[in-house]
Chain A
Amino acid sequence: MDANAIDVLLIEDSPGDARLIQEMLAETHRTPFALERVDRLSSGLDRIASRPPDVVLLDLGLPDAKGLEGLGAIQRQAARVPVVVLTGLDDEDVAARAVQEGAQDYLVKGQIDDNQLSRAIRYAIGRKQTDEALRQSQDRLQTIIANTPIILFATDREGRMTTSEGRGLQGIGVQPGQVNGRSIFDLFAGQQDILEIMRRGLAGEEVTSTVEIDGRAFDLCMGPLREGKGDVCGILGVCTDITERVRAEEALHTTLQELEARNQELESFTYSVSHDLKEPLRTVEAFSQFLLEDYAGRLDEQGKDYLHRMGKASGRLKQMIEELLALSRLGRRPEELVRVDPGQVVADIGVAFHTGLEEKNASIEVEGELPCVLGDMSRVEQTFGNLIANGIKFNRSERPLVTVGVQDVRNGAATFFVRDNGIGIDPQYHDKIFGVFQRLHRREEYDGTGAGLAIVKRAVEALGGRVWVDSAPDAGTTFFVSLPLWQEAAIAA
């Protein structure tokens, strides 16, 4: 048998009619038909069960099936097999019912020829395949909708629900289809915002909005359904449950607020502690001094030494308090980011350090032009100020030189360098030096509390930049600072 032949099962009890069909099918050359004939429904059902044909030609007047019973039986047996109903009667009602009940076509035996029959069979098969494809597609869609956390809904032109599906319905405790037939004006009575949106949809508008239903938040996206001439015949919409996302955002927002509040508290605390600490410190300093002045004569060297040490210690304490204060202020996000010219800052620093530079025969040089950055004056000043000061302080050269320049500019940031010909820093300490009150040298060698670089780090990071160092003992030190570039169209964060 030809594998390409269309496998036709003819269920026809009248031999004469069967013969007619056989001959008609044999006539056609284009599409070979392989015909098998049975004379009763039961045989037909057996055949279908064992080897489903491509199409069934079903006579309505069978001994074991009256009217359309046979059609129903075949469909129950094999829903995918297309059925063409044959009958001797030209009965429109029956025809309509047959097609309604799933037959692909209805042919009147005396009124067809071989071409029509052949065509009817081919179309029946074709249509059935299309129907199948459509059905599968719908099934897939249905599965998707049923499993996606969305709500798909549609209404008629009066606002009565015609469709309500999707796993999103679970979130509001509704079964798919449960609210079909009910009016949205009842379902959402009291929720003016939703009703307003629905009205707009029914008036022909596409609307996107966020709504709240039964305590859950949804992104709603809907538009009008239109029929033939473009008249609105209902609305179709999809709701996506965004409750979790909204909750997460709110939680994040709350956390940020709390964090900000905590920071403020810490800052106030640090400020008032530092401030309050200064008062008794002042008394200690003052009276140590007075003691020294008034009783110097009566004190021996030891006594004077004690006082001297007290004085120095309170000096250190004072400086540490001030640096802690400065540090706490620097950590906060800058209020207003403006254009800052590092070249100007370095020039100002040069002026401010004038005396110190002269004393040490030191100089500050700027290499090339420094691009403007986005930041705030105070932090940029403190950054360059401390780096330059360090470059001069930790320096045994005859002519200490600090050079400031720009290393590179890319990705919206400028990397500056502050290079000195000083004593250098051993690589094993390159991280440690940024700690608060971290010192690498004995106090007799180099003075200072060690907070300078901590201040630089805090200031730079508050502006969104980074600082790092390249150095080796006796080989000078270069600090690198990256800061966001000032760009004309830049918007302060």
Chain B
Amino acid sequence: MMKKIGIILMSFLCVVFLSNSWADKDINIEVKTGIHGVGVHESKVKVGEYDVLNIGVQPDISFFLNGKINDLYFSGSGTYYEEEDQQYSASVDIKRYLTQEFTYYRFKHWLDHDPLTNLYAAATTGTNVIPPLVTYTDIESGRDYSIVRSERESKTTLRIPLELPFELKTFFNYRTEARWGERQALTMSKCSACHVVSRSKRIDEYTEDYNPGFIATYRSKKARVSFSYEYLDREFRENAMAPENYYDRAVHPGSGSNVFDDRVQYQNTKLPYAHSPRSRKYSHIVKLDSYVPSLSTGMFIGSVYSETENKEEDLKFNLKTIFTRLSSAMIPGLSFNVHFRYLDLANQSIFVDTNEPVSNAGTNAGHTWADPSHGGTYNTIDPDFTRNSAMSRRQYEVGLDMVYLLMKGITLRGSYEWREIKRDHYYVTSNDKETKEHRAKLAINARFKPPVIERPIRATLTYKYKSIDAPFANVKAAFKGETTITSNGAFSGTQYWELHEMRNLTLTNLPTLTHEIRFDTTVPVYDRLSVTAFYRWIEEKNKAVEWANKTHMPSLSIWYAPLDKLSFTVSYLYKYGKTNSLLCVPVYDG
């Protein structure tokens, strides 16, 4: 602690001393140093979620500088508040040929610790006692969890000093991101969460980016054209070991007999869980941007190809996208953009070869569950399956934006966008894999002087509309109706997979229709009094699933300065929201 105080004090004095020798140079510097003391009562997880809140007294320092020495321009800033709360930035420009930027930050995030006591909510006492059928063990009960996050980024740009018909710049960006600390990791043992276990999981994640590229720009009186290419190589790895859990033997909770051995994937063994796999991403980004001043029109085309790979399971997903936009202000008073986007996302399918243990004893002895030759009368399926991804899709988007100057001080804005998502494998209705969206927006911006106030008032009124046909949904979300099940034991009764297949209701919590109105205005009533009002109303509906959401958000701010030396600011914000939704009653939930 004394060492830290000494270092910070010496740094402050050095800056003060050195700045005196820079008095005749074009350099500005500001430095602050001091101490801060912290006291905390009860829990600090919520009251200071993103604060370090170390109890006691700590020194701190911050600085800001900018300046110029000959053809070298530089600037920098930094704050050291706590060991886990720092940020720095610096930039250097040498004769406009070489620019270098550097940023670094680090902060702490406190996380919750779920005590799991709600799992006993299904238990009852009294006449008909139901013991807790879902139990839990919190290995490190009451432990505080937090993650420290840091990012370091360097950007280097070099303008090639050659006599070329165009300007050529190359750049190299490097970034690392690290997260370390502990968080809670939960796992379940046996038959849909009969026993939930909580353990601490160490986090030691590291992401590293290499991002080189170039930009070539041609300029003339007739046109400006710019072409750029960049490559990104990103690697993510988790250096901490995954926690391990002992998965109990799956015995009947009442009799204690070993009757589930042919129907569980693993038991009576220690296995890792909550593991974050190592991944690698490569991407190529190409852009072409042009502008013709005589036509006040510009054209942009961009394309991205990327490949992301799970290095531990040899799984990949590829992304290909192309985006193009035409912008023009040829017609006086009117400017518009038209854009088109195509996206193709392909996520690899994987064949899941499930573990099919052979039963040791009981009715199914010597057989797997899926083997019908033992004499049982239940219906079986092949438990192996191919996991196709709901991410895989092709997406098309076309949009138009316009801004029109109605009269002096009043602008009308309008936009329309059509989007279609065609999924490769995932159904969003019983027979359709496509989602279609229409989005429209209309807004008016006004800046005018009303007669009484005689000061410029600014006001904006916006209306947004969205219509979505077949939003993302689960087509086997729930069962509605009546049915008959056979309850003659595990080997002649209705099976769990048959109950799942009976589900006949498509449900979602996404709307098919959205309306939004937004209004804000600032009124400078007097030189010393200003009022800002804001209102937002959102209504979302999906009649097919009886889902609806409404939100109101008005707010008012007043700034008043009765004297030159005294000013007040008062604001009030109210938010009201209501959501109506269906409730699914769980059956066979463990």
Same assembly: no
Mark A residues whose CB is within 8 Å of B: none
